[in-house]
Amino acid sequence: MIQHDRISIVVVDDDAFQRFFAVKLLETLGYRAHEAAAGPQALDLLRETGAPILLCDLEMPGMDGHELVRRVRAQDSGEDGAYVHVIMLTASEQSRDRDVALEAGVDDFMVKPLDQATLSARIGSVRRLIEHEALLKQRTQRLAEANARILEDLNAASDAQRRLLPDAGGRFGGLAFHAAFVPSQILSGDMFGFFELQDGYVGMHTIDVSGHGVRASLKSVALGHLLTAAYYTGNGFDEDGIPDPARLVARLNARFYHEGHEEYFTMFCGVLNTRDGVLHFCNAGYQPPWLGRADGRVEALDAAGFPVGLLPDMGYETQAVHLMEGDFVFLCSDGATEAENGDGRALGESGVKAVLDRHAREPASIPARLQATLDGWREGRALDDDLTILICERTRT
Amino acid sequence: MMIRTKKDDASDTVVVQPGAERLTAANALQFKSEVVDVIDGGESRLAIDLTEVAFIDSSGIGALVGVLKKLGNRGDIVVFGLSKDVQRMFEITRMNRVFPAYKDRSTALGAMADGL
C-alpha cells in the first residue's frame, strides 16, 4: 500500500514565487514535492523520481503546459510506463484552453491562486486513484503468478501423459506399430496403447474421451494406467481362452457408467494372435478401422458399437479379421475425419481413405502423410480436436 | 434461449429444433438443460428435429443421451432429418439403436401418433 506521505509530486512553473508557494502547500499537506522551472526539467524529474502526480502551469516560455502533457503521455503509454496524473494550473476558467488541455491528456484543473483546502481535496482524490491502481497491479501480479503456475502444471501433466504412451515405432512379435499423437490443447482426451500379452498375443487400443482439456485428459490418463497387459489377460479372453475384447469393453462400461452425467469414451480394443495373424477386436463407437492389404487394397471394416460409459448394460460384440504378412490395421481418431477446411467441410472418411490408398504399400509413412494432408486441409490452422493415428502392421518375415 | 419448440397435438409430441447448425461441446450443455426444462414442464414425448444440424460431436451425442435418460421410461424420444454425416455418427456409435430415426417431420410425428 502506498503511504500518503511518501507520494512524490513534481511541480513545474516558470514563476519562482508560484512554484515556491505550491511546494510549501504540498509539504504542509505531507507530500514530497520536486521543483522544476521548465518543461524539459519536469520530464527529467518525472523519470528520475517516478512521481505519479504532476502539478503543471499552463503558460510557460518554451515548452508550454499542453506540450509538456503531450510528452508525458507519450512517455507513460509504454509497456511498463506508470500513469502520471496531471493537474493543470490556469489563470482563469478559459474553456478553450481547457479543451486543448484535455485533448493533450490533462486529468484535472485548478485555478490560481492555489488555496490549501482545494489543493488538499484534489490531490486526495488522485491519491485514492493511485492506491486503487496499486491494488489492481497487485491483483494482476497475483493472477499472472497463478496463471504461470497453472501453465507449468499443465505442461508437466502433458509430459506425464505423453510418457504414458508407448514409443511409436515399436516392433515385436512380427508386428510394427506406427503412431502419431497431436493434442489440440496442452492436454488430450486421446489415449492409445499396445503391449505383449502371454502366449504370443498382443493387446492394443485407441481411446477418445468425449470433451477436451483437463477433465477429458484425466480420464484418459486413468484409462492408460488401468489398461495394462494384466487387465487384458484378466478381462480380454473368454472361458476357453479365446480373445474376447468385447468382454473387456463391457467391464469398462460397467465400471465407467455413472448416473447423472454423460461423460464417456469411444474405444477400439483389439487382441492379435501373432502366431496366425487373427485380430479379435471390439469397436465401441471409435472411428471404424481400415484394413490395408499387402497388395495395396484398402477396405473399411464395418465395425460399430456403443460408446463406453454412456448407457448401462449395452451389448458389445467381438469381431475378427485375419492379417496376412504385409497387411495392416489403421486407426485414427475423429480428429482426422472431422477436421474442417476453411469452408467448414470435413475431411471425412473418404479424405482419410484417399491417403491410405496412396500410401498403403508403405504403412510406416502413413502417420506423417495423413498429418501433412490435414495441415494442407486446415491451411496450417491447428486442429480443433485431438488427433491420434495408430497403425499395426504385420511385417513380412 | 437456444431451442425452439412446437407442440403437435395430433401426436401429443413436442418438436424440438436445436437452433444451431452444430451440436458440440460449445452448446451441448445448454441444449440439454433447455430440453430438460421442457420435460420438467410436463412434456414426455419429444421429436428432435436435426434437419438444420450439420454436425454433432461426442458432447452433442452425450446431450441427446442425457435427455433420453431424463425421460427414462416415462416418455418417448425420436429424431428426424439426419444429414449424411450425422447419420454416419449415429451408426458408428449405434445411437441408431437408441434413438428411433425418421426421414422427416411428418413420418416422425406419424410414428409418434401410431404409438399413442
- Does the pLDDT at position A4 exceed 70? no
- Does the pLDDT at position A1 exceed 60? no
- Look at residue A211 in the predicted model and tell me its pLDDT: 80
pLDDT tens-digit readout, A344-370? 899 999 999 999 999 999 999 999 999
The lowest-confidence range among A71-80, A161-170, B97-106 is A71-80
pLDDT tens-digit readout, A109-153? 988 888 889 999 999 999 999 889 889 999 999 999 999 999 999
Contact between chains at A305 and B59 (C-beta distance less than 8 A): no
CA dihedral A42, A45, A51, A56 (to 10 degrees): -10
Which residues in chain B are contacts of A349 at CB distance < 8 A? Answer: 88
Of B55, B63, B93, the CB nearest to A307: B93
- ipTM above threshold 0.85: yes
pLDDT tens-digit readout, B51-96? 999 999 999 999 999 999 999 888 999 999 999 999 999 999 999 9
CA distance A364 to B89: 28
Q: Tell me what percent of the residues of chain B surpass a pLDDT of 90.
A: 92
Of B63, B85, B93, the CB nearest to A285: B93
Quick one: which of A53, A36, A72, A57 has its CA closest to A125? A53
Contact between chains at B65 and A311 (C-beta distance less than 8 A): yes
**Mean pLDDT, to the nearest integer, of A162-176?**
86
- Does the pLDDT at position A203 exceed 90? yes
pLDDT tens-digit readout, B25-40? 899 999 999 999 999 9
Which residues in chain B are contacts of A304 at CB distance < 8 A? Answer: 91-94
Work out the pLDDT band at A3, boundaries 50, 70, 90: very low
Task: Give the rounded distance of the alpha carbon of A148 from its chain centre.
Answer: 12
Q: B94: distance to nearest CA of chain A, Å? A: 5
CA distance A244 to A221: 24
Of B25, B32, B92, the CB nearest to A288: B92
Which residues in chain B are contacts of A385 at CB distance < 8 A? Answer: 57
- Look at residue A157 in the predicted model and tell me its pLDDT: 86
**Mean pLDDT, to the nearest integer, of A178-201?**
91
With a CB cutoff of 8 Å and minimum separation 6, the contacts of A263 are A209, A210, A211, A215, A219, A309, B62
Look at the alpha carbons of A45, A132, A99, A11 in this order and tell me if their dihedral is positive or negative.
Answer: negative
Interface A:B, Cβ pairs < 8 A: 56
Which residues in chain A are contacts of B32 at CB distance < 8 A? Answer: 262
Q: B87: distance to nearest CA of chain A, Å? A: 13
pLDDT tens-digit readout, A257-298? 988 788 899 999 999 999 999 999 999 999 999 999 999 999
Residue B58: closest C-alpha in chain A: A210
CA distance A191 to A188: 8
Identify whether the C-beta of residue B115 lies closer than 8 Å to the C-beta of residue B85. no
Residue B92: closest C-alpha in chain A: A304
- Look at residue A78 in the predicted model and tell me its pLDDT: 57
- Does the pLDDT at position A80 exceed 50? yes
With a CB cutoff of 8 Å and minimum separation 6, the contacts of B96 are B87, B90
90-109 of B, contacting A, C-beta below 8 A? 91-94, 98
Identify whether the C-beta of residue A360 lies closer than 8 Å to the C-beta of residue A292. yes
Q: Which of the 8 DSSP states describes residue B112?
A: H
**Reported pTM:** 0.79
With a CB cutoff of 8 Å and minimum separation 6, the contacts of A138 are none
274-333 of A, contacting B, C-beta below 8 A? 285-288, 304-307, 310-311, 314
Q: How many CB atoms lie within 10 A of CB A344?
A: 10
- Per-residue cell: A11: 511541480
